[in-house]
Structure 1
C-alpha cells in the first residue's frame, strides 16, 4: 500500500514563521517521499469564526498562496478544500455515533477552551472538532499524519475511531501513524511561548523586508540582560529560538557568544534579519507569480479538490457497504 500523508491548516488567517518552522518546511520535504494531501480546513475554521464567513473566504486563497510560496508543489501534493468534500461531513456524522461526549470533554484542547467559556457554553461543532479531524484523516486512508506533541491526543482519538469502526463493521479503515515534528514551537516576538495569529506576535510569511526588520527589532530578548557584556540566557530568548530554527549551522556559535557576553542583542537580531531575508525572498517571488495568476490558483484548488473527492467517494462506498447502508 502506498504511504499517504494528510496535513493542513484551519483557514483562520495568513501563515507565519511558526507555521513554516513547525510544519510547512516538513511538508515540502514529505511531498518528495509520499503521496501528500494538504487540507484547507474551512469547516473547522467555522468552529471559532462562524460569524465571519467572509474572512474565511479571503483567508482560503491567502493560505493557498502561502502553500505555493513555501514550496508545496501542486504536481506532487493534492491541495483541497474541506467543505467541498461532503464525504468528510458524512464520515463525521457516522463517527459521532460511537464517540462519547465524555471522551470529547476530556480532550486537552476542549478542556483548555472550557477554562474561558465553560463546557456549558461550548458549541457542538467545537466539541466535536476531534471527530471532524478523524474524518479528515480517514477519508483518504492517510497512513501518516505529521503532528506536534500537543496534537497527539487528536490523532490518538482518530486511531481509536478507526479501530472501533473496523471492529464494529469490517476492516475498511487504515490506522494512521504519527510523524512527530522535531521542531520545537517557535516563540512569539512578544516572548510568549507560541507565535500566534490571534496574539498578534507573529511574522507573516508574506512580510516585506522592512516589515520583518521592524518586527525583529522590536522583539523582546533576554529580560535579565541589561548590557552587552552581561552573560546572556539564550534559552529564554525568542531571538535565539529563531537562530536555532533558521540559522542551525550558526546557532551554537551564537549561544556561546551570548552566554559569554561577546555579542549584543542588536547584532544578534541583525543576523536573524539577514537569515530570514534569505529564506523569505524566494517565497515572495513565488507568491508574486501565483498572486498575479488567480485563475491558476483557482485551477490548482479545484483540481486538487476533484482528486480528493474521487478518493473520498471510493472510501465512502466501502464505508457504506461495511455499515450495510448500500441500499440500492
Structure 2
C-alpha cells in the first residue's frame, strides 16, 4: 500500500503546475535563492539535477541568487583548508555553464555578515523540538558518520531561512527532501510577520519549485557524491570520462534496455547518455540495443564528452585567471551585502532594536 504524502508535500505537489505556469508567464515576480556547499567539485549529476534548471530560470528572467554556503561546510566536515579552492572551482563551473553575473548574484556566506546575523532573531521563532525533528537534519546527522554533531547542524534550517529571506526570496527550487527546510522558512517568515510586523507582511512565505530532475547514480551504481570518487566532474577530461564510464557497473544481459527497477546500473548509463544526447532514455537504449555493455559505454562516453566539451573548454580558460573569478564573487558579495544590510535595518526597526543612533556615532 502506498503511503499518502504528508500535508505540506501534498500541497506543494498540487501547487506546482500552477507555479510553473506563473513563473513562465511572469518571471519578474520571482526572486529565487539556490546554491550549494563548496565541499568538492561539481559533477554531471549536479548539472542535470540542478544547474541546468538554474540556467533555464535565469534565461526566463527570474532574479537569481546563487549561494556558496561555505559556513555550512562546518556542520559535518573539517576541510577548511580546501574551501578556498573549492569556491574557485565552483565559480569556474558556474560561469562555464552559462550563469551570467549580469543576471544573477553569486555570493558566499562568510562575506555577507548581515545575512548571518539574521539567524539570531530567527532562532527565537522556532523551538528546539522543531529543529530536533526536522527530517532533513536527522538524515544529515545520520549520513555524516560523525560520533557527535555540533550546534551548527541543528541551526541548519534556520540558517537556510536567513539565506532565503535576507533577499526576500519567494522561490526555492528543490526536491521533496528540501521541503522541510522550506517549511521552516515559511514558519519563520509568518511568525516574524505576526510577532513583529504590526500588520506588515515584511517577509514573503517562499514556495518550493519541485524538481523533475532525473537522479543519476554514480558509476558504481550507488548515490553520486563529490567525495565518493564515483562521479564525472564537470572539469574531467575526455580521457578521464572515458575511463570512469568504462569501469561503470552493468550486468550480464547483452541487450540494452531502459528498466530502472530491474536493471538500475545499465539504466543509469542509458539515462546519462540520453540526457547528454537530448534523446529519451528509450530512444537512446534502442539505438544501443544490440551493442552490449561495451557498446553502451562507448555511446555514453561519446555523448557526454560531446555535450560537455564546450563547457570544459570555457572552464579551463576561466581557471587561467582566478583573479577574474574572485572579482565576480566580490561583486556578488557586495550586492548581496547591500541587500542584507537593508533587510537587517528593517528587522531592527520592526523588532525595536534600532534605538542606538548609529548614524551619529
Contact 1:16 1:203 in 2 (8 A): yes
- Residue in structure 2 matched with residue 173 of structure 1 by the alignment: 203
**Residues in 1 aligned to 2:73 and 2:135: alpha-carbon distance in whole angstroms:** 18
Specify every segment of 5 or more residues in structure 1 that has no aligned partner in the other structure, as ranges.
none
Residues 135-193 of structure 1: per-residue CA shift (max 9 Å, x gap): 0000011111111221111111111111111111112111111111111221111101x
Q: How far, CA to CA, are the matches of 2:146 and 2:205 in structure 1?
A: 30
Q: Does 1:309 align with 2:337?
A: yes
SS of corresponding position for 2:212 = coil
For structure 2, which runs of at least 5 residues remain unmatched after alignment?
1-27, 357-361
- 2 CA distance for matches of 1:120 and 1:298? 36
Normalising by structure 1, what TM-score? 0.92
Show structure 1 runs of 4+ deviating over 4 A: 116-120
Distance 1:117 1:30 in 2: 32
Give the root-mean-square deviation of aligned CA atoms.
2.0
- Aligned pairs for 1:25-36 within 5 A: 25-32=52-59, 33-36=61-64
Deviations 1:49-94 (A, max 9, x none): 2x32111122111111111111111111111111111112111111
Alignment match of 2:328 (pick from 297, 300, 320): 300
Residue 234 of structure 1 corresponds to which residue in structure 2?
Answer: 259
Q: Of the candidates 273, 277, 283, which is equivalent to residue 243 of structure 1? A: 273
1:91 counterpart = 2:91 = no
Q: Residues 254 and 137 (structure 1 numbering): CA distance in 2 closer, same or farther, change over 3 Å?
A: same
Equivalent residue number for residue 9 of structure 2: none
Q: Give the corresponding residue for 2:244.
A: 215
Which of 222, 230, 234 is 1:205 aligned to? Answer: 234
The reply to whether residue 162 of structure 1 matches residue 183 of structure 2 is no
Pick aligned residue for 1:11 from 28, 32, 38: 38
8 Å CA contact 2:257–2:286 kept in 1: the answer is no
Deviations 1:182-214 (A, max 9, x none): 11221111101x211132211110000000000
> Structure 2 CA distance, aligned partners of 1:120 and 1:283?
40
Q: Deviation of residue 7 (structure 1)? A: 0.8
Q: Are the counterparts in 1 of residues 161 and 184 from structure 2 also a CA contact under 8 Å?
A: yes
Q: Is 1:185 aligned with 2:215?
A: yes
* 8 Å CA contact retained: 1:144, 1:176: yes
Q: What's the offset of the Cα at 1:25? A: 0.8
In the other structure, the counterpart of 1:106 is 133
Q: CA deviation at 1:18?
A: 0.8
CA 1:300–1:113 in 2, change beyond 3 Å: closer, same or farther? Answer: closer
Number of positions where the alignment pairs a residue of Structure 1 with one of Structure 2: 320
The 1-side partners of 2:169 and 2:213 are apart by 22
1:38 is paired with a residue whose SS is strand
- Measure how far apart 1:45 and its partner are: 1.0
C-alpha separation in 2, matches of 1:209 and 1:156: 42
The answer (yes or no) to whether the contact 1:36–1:77 under 8 Å persists in 2 is yes
Checking the alignment, whether the CA contact within 8 Å between 1:87 and 1:312 is kept in structure 2 is yes
Is the contact between residue 254 and residue 268 of structure 1 (CA under 8 Å) also seen in structure 2? no
